[in-house]
Chain A
Amino acid sequence: MPNALNISQLKKSYGSLEALKGISFCVQQGDFFALLGPNGAGKSTTIGIISSLVNKSSGSVEIFGYDIQRQKNIAKKHIGLVPQEFNFSIFEQVMQIVVNQAGYYGIPRKVAVPRAEELLNKLGLWEKRSSVARTLSGGMKRKLMIVRALLHNPQLLILDEPTAGVDVETRREMWDFLTQLNTQGTTIILTTHYLEEAEQLCKNIAIIDHGEIIQNTSMKKLLAQLDHESFIIDTRDEINELQEVEGYSLQKIDNNTIRLDLHKDQNLNNVIAKLSEQDIQIKSMRNKANRLEELFIRLTKK
């Protein structure tokens, strides 16, 4: 069974700027894959090359075993793309945009229309089917691009920041939708700057920075690398003085807040007991940052 995506030694230069410096990674069929990285890392460039919108400088890309250059058309049929920036005609109606896209894949209208209806309904856009795209809200435009990408039943769906500017509820709807799609067999590649999203949805991950892959592993293994976690503790009463607790890193932030850095070999019970001894009552406790976020910042900070 070929991989859904094989990227090998992929390079891209924009003039003197080397946006991709020879990256290689692969995505297995059925995976839900996160491609993460800071702004300008090269995520959209990579996705652009995969989907034939950007010309590569060198290297190779295969989609389900088909080379994107030598077997262009068959490779293209396997991909559905939700780009980072809106790229539909704002003067056209939702239904037209979606059905036309199907036409470009050779799908006749009588097949496309019912399929469009089903997808628009699923993503809550059916009411807007006759609206001109210009009049949609930002979140609706994102959903429109998801529907458009799925009309030809692609086996690999690539989403470049699909949840940017999308409200919490809609984001959850999209997550459910994508999870369902993935369960039914569609391979998904996702880029996002919401790391809790990637942590929740994705099985495998590549982190790209300055045009190079700096991590490529499973989400579980990556998170296991995290050797300590930071907690924020809110206290019930004001603390005057915080005594040190041997072996633990505790830091008073203000009169009601303590920061605790916990190594993964340590446990919370001890430190809570020690705090109780000091007569400090814990009102609530939370992670300082999302776990993936902490790792991400550490990995990309140089």
Chain B
Amino acid sequence: MNAHEQFIAFYTILRKEIARFMRIWTQTLLPAVISITLYFIIFGAFIGSQIKPIKGFSYMQFVVPGFIMMAVIQNTYGNVVSSFFGTKFQKSVEELLVSPTPSYVIILGYCCGGMLRGLLIAFLVTATSLIFEPLTIFHPLTTVVFVILTAFLFSLIGLTNAIFAQKFDDINIIPTFVLTPLIYLGGVFYSIELLPNFWQKVSLFNPVLYMVNGFRYGFLGVSDIEVWFALTMLVVFIVIFFVINLIFITRGVGLKS
């Protein structure tokens, strides 16, 4: 396939992905907005007012970037894992496997679909947050770069999960037992400065910490970690998972018998 044909194949997948999450928006877009509103009310307004400022910002200001990032991670991952597993389950993935569409185009198509949902969610959540708190952005480019790269990484990981999944349970295991703990312990709700020394060190092994902090830096200009280091790590993880997916799809791991 030449570049133009590959682009058509990519656009076909992307379009299908967008149509899918828009068709079932009550499952794909609405829940994030509702749960974030609840987080704002509970952690922001009720509890937040009792908490003293962190790094010179009100608790509400501090957690908003964390909430956005949490929603982006959950939704990009969730979109790709359930969409791709769905096509495996219905066998419609065979439509792609018989076609000359290269593996990397399949990966990009599904991941961009997931990223678009993630970014749409980021927009909705940010808009919701404006009801509660005015927005300040310290460094817009950092914000955008972090949200896009994080969305890309988690859509790639969602794809890997879907490739390995054999049954519906398998698409919930990682989000429940790995992703949620990493997010909750990744500095969404607090600064790791508040933790005892030992737990601060342990937290540094949590990749989500870097994404949340990089993103928060974009908003507030404060971070628990080096932003450059966070960025490098994101890129390295993206490359690793991209290559893993490329090998698996090309060989047909989990897709062909």
Q: Does A107 reach chain B (CB closer than 8 Å)?
A: yes
CB-nearest residue of chain B relative to A86?
B91
Residue of A81, A87, A105 touching B100 (CB-CB under 8 A): A105
Q: Does B29 reach chain A (CB closer than 8 Å)?
A: no
Cβ–Cβ contact A87 & B91, under 8 A: yes
* Residue with the greatest number of chain A CB neighbours at <10 A, chosen from B12, B23, B98, B251: B98
Q: Does B178 reach chain A (CB closer than 8 Å)?
A: no
What residues of B have a CB within 8 angstroms of the CB of A108 in the complex? 8
* Residue with the greatest number of chain B CB neighbours at <10 A, chosen from A76, A101, A106: A106
* Residue with the greatest number of chain B CB neighbours at <10 A, chosen from A51, A54, A81, A89: A89
Residue of A52, A73, A74, A104 touching B12 (CB-CB under 8 A): A104
Cβ–Cβ contact B98 & A55, under 8 A: no
Q: Could you give, for residues 94-109 of chain A, a 1 whenever the CB lies within 8 Å of some chain B CB and a 0 otherwise?
A: 0011001101111110
Q: Could you give, for residues 46-59 of chain A, a 1 whenever the CB lies within 8 Å of some chain B CB and a 0 otherwise?
A: 00100111110000
Q: Does B6 reach chain A (CB closer than 8 Å)?
A: yes
Residue of B91, B95, B97 touching A100 (CB-CB under 8 A): B95
Q: Does A20 reach chain B (CB closer than 8 Å)?
A: no
What residues of B have a CB within 8 angstroms of the CB of A88 in the complex? 90, 92, 95
Q: Does B252 reach chain A (CB closer than 8 Å)?
A: yes
Q: Does A211 reach chain B (CB closer than 8 Å)?
A: no
Residue of B4, B8, B91, B97 touching A103 (CB-CB under 8 A): B8
Dominant secondary structure of chain B at its interface with chain A: helix
Please provide the chain B residues from 91 to 140 with a CB less than 8 Å away from any CB of chain A in the complex: 91-92, 94-102
CB-nearest residue of chain B relative to A101?
B95
Cβ–Cβ contact A81 & B8, under 8 A: no
The number of chain B residues with a CB under 8 A from chain A is: 31
Q: Does B87 reach chain A (CB closer than 8 Å)?
A: yes
Please give the distance in Å from A52's CB to the nearest CB on chain B.
6
Residue of A14, A74, A105 touching B99 (CB-CB under 8 A): A105
Cβ–Cβ contact B9 & A104, under 8 A: yes
Please give the distance in Å from B29's CB to the nearest CB on chain A.
17
What residues of A have a CB within 8 angstroms of the CB of B99 in the complex? 76, 101, 104-105
Q: Does B241 reach chain A (CB closer than 8 Å)?
A: no
Q: Does A79 reach chain B (CB closer than 8 Å)?
A: yes
Q: Does B202 reach chain A (CB closer than 8 Å)?
A: no
Q: A73-B100, A88-B92 are in contact. Are A100 and B256 (CB under 8 A)?
A: no
Q: Does B27 reach chain A (CB closer than 8 Å)?
A: no
Please give the distance in Å from A45's CB to the nearest CB on chain B.
9
CB-nearest residue of chain A relative to B91?
A87
Given contacts A73-B100, A74-B100, A106-B5, 5 further A-B contacts (CB under 8 A): A83-B94, A103-B9, A104-B13, A106-B8, A148-B95
22 contacts between A and B (CB under 8 A): A53-B98, A53-B256, A54-B257, A55-B256, A72-B100, A73-B100, A76-B98, A79-B98, A83-B94, A87-B91, A87-B92, A87-B94, A88-B92, A89-B87, A104-B96, A104-B100, A105-B9, A105-B99, A105-B100, A106-B4, A106-B9, A107-B8
Q: Which residues of B contact A (CB under 8 A)?
A: 1-2, 4-6, 8-9, 11-13, 16, 19, 23, 86-87, 90-92, 94-102, 251-252, 256-257
